[in-house]
Amino acid sequence: MRGSFYGIKTMLAASVLATSMSFAVPSYAQEETIKVGILHSLSGTMAISETTLKDTMLFLIDEQNKKGGLLGKKLEAVVVDPASDWPLFAEKARELISVNKVSAVFGCWTSVSRKSVLPVFEELNNILFYPVQYEGEESQRNVFYTGAAPNQQAIPAVDYLMNDEGVERWVLAGTDYVYPQTTNKILQAYLESKGVAKEDIMVNYTPFGHSDWQTIVTDIKNFGSAGKKTAVVSTINGDANVPFYKELANQGIKAEDIPVVAFSVGEEELAGLDTAPLVGHLTAWNYFQSVDTPENADFIAKWKEYTKNPDRVTNDPMEAHVIGFNMWIKAVEKAGTTEPDAVIDSIIGVSVPNLTGGYSAMMPNHHITKPVLIGEIQADGQMETVWQTSGLVVGDEWSDYLPDSKDLIADWRAPMSCGNFNVAAGKCGGKGTN
């Protein structure tokens, strides 16, 4: 498993010369402020999820400025709207880095938007903090993944349904883009490794913003009528979730009959909705607003005060931005500069408080340690935790369940400095981004 790979990697690294890398480093003039880029959709199908992350970053920057800023300078937010348009994410990222001269960027939600900006961050040698659960199969030098990898969300959720709920048939329902497709590929391989027959796995994809769910929900209902406990594992993203759950209710599918565990439905998506169709269904995240810790209570109180809205909720990607932002602050202070190369080197090993009562650390693969929580949706739009890991889980950048990935690891420390080191072949460059 992964832990043994790190042991193998350590032995191999001693005999492997570091891969030579050269990056075009922009000149950082002595600015009056340190600029921070915010790259989240404020319009389009993903605005329902991403707008609150923009607000979160403005809040965190305001809080840091109250503490005196960073390196003796105030932080200045630079906000752009890529408008749920995936190619536009790349254009806006380039604008933030080349025109606005930001020191780091916090942004993206969908994996297709992240994939769109990767070449820009690599070319211009800037830093992206990505706060949302994703499909793994990636470790890029200029990206820090503060959301969940599949082993920090999808696989534990399936384990819970299988072991605690007795689920035997599986509907893998997702939006038609890279995150659901790759996550479901991993989950299908994982389920088959656990003895689940192929005929007991149904896979379905729909476009962003899909609204007509009648036929698909009928298919799910029929699939679940075979006499085996059935569940839906949902990687449906954005505003398509609203009509999906409504149609489940319209066709009389209750949580006790066919439970849905969702990876992209949180408190923000539920705020203001009629939650009646969702009560009893499940979500899998690494944080819930309902987590009872002093750190979380303090954050929620300050958030509501900042927004001047006592009904404003918090959610998992917000906590990921809290962790990522505080890691960036700590790394900049440690490096004594916002220069990307120095920050990239200094951030590995940085540990900061999370909101669930522990500390999350940045690992050499640019993923962080996180707890995993399964929550049951309540009538008030909050989650009641029904299961959680006993400790923190290290994000696994390459899946153990895909043949092309199981021998790969990432370690961005010298001398390895590689995002896809193949422990079987003993060399960098097995697959993907390095």
Q: Please, what is the average pLDDT of the chain?
A: 91
What tens digit of pLDDT does each residue of 255-267 get? 999 999 999 899 9
**Span 23-40, average pLDDT:** 70
What tens digit of pLDDT does each residue of 365-387 get? 999 999 999 999 999 999 999 99
| Continuous segment of H or E residues that includes residue 158 | helix 154-164
What does each C-alpha distance from 315 to 108, 270, 295, 382, 392 come to in angstroms? 16, 10, 14, 10, 18
Would you place residue 2 in the very low, low, confident or very high pLDDT band (cuts 50, 70, 90)?
Answer: very low
- Same fold for the pair 33-148+292-369 and 151-285: yes
**What is residue 18's predicted lDDT score, i.e. its pLDDT?**
33
CATH dotted code for 151-285: 3.40.50.2300
DSSP notation for 37-68? EEE--SSSTTHHHHHHHHHHHHHHHHHHHHTT
User: What residue spans define the domains of the chain?
Assistant: 33-148+292-369, 151-285
Check residues 285 and 12 and name the one with the higher pLDDT.
285
Upper half-sphere CA count for residue 390 (Cβ side, 13 Å): 0
Distance of alpha carbon 40 from alpha carbon 52, whole angstroms: 9
What tens digit of pLDDT does each residue of 195-221 get? 999 999 999 999 999 999 999 999 999
Q: CB of 164 within 8 A of CB of 387? A: yes
DSSP notation for 324-351? HHHHHHHHHHHHTS--HHHHHHHHTT-E
State yes or no: pLDDT of 285 exceeds 50: yes
Would you place residue 30 in the very low, low, confident or very high pLDDT band (cuts 50, 70, 90)?
Answer: low
First to last CA, the chain: 21
What tens digit of pLDDT does each residue of 214-255 get? 999 999 999 999 999 999 999 998 888 989 999 999 999 999
**What is residue 48's predicted lDDT score, i.e. its pLDDT?**
87
The overall longest dimension of the chain from CA atoms, in Å, is 68
CATH dotted code for 33-148+292-369: 3.40.50.2300
State yes or no: pLDDT of 434 exceeds 70: no
**What is residue 395's predicted lDDT score, i.e. its pLDDT?**
97
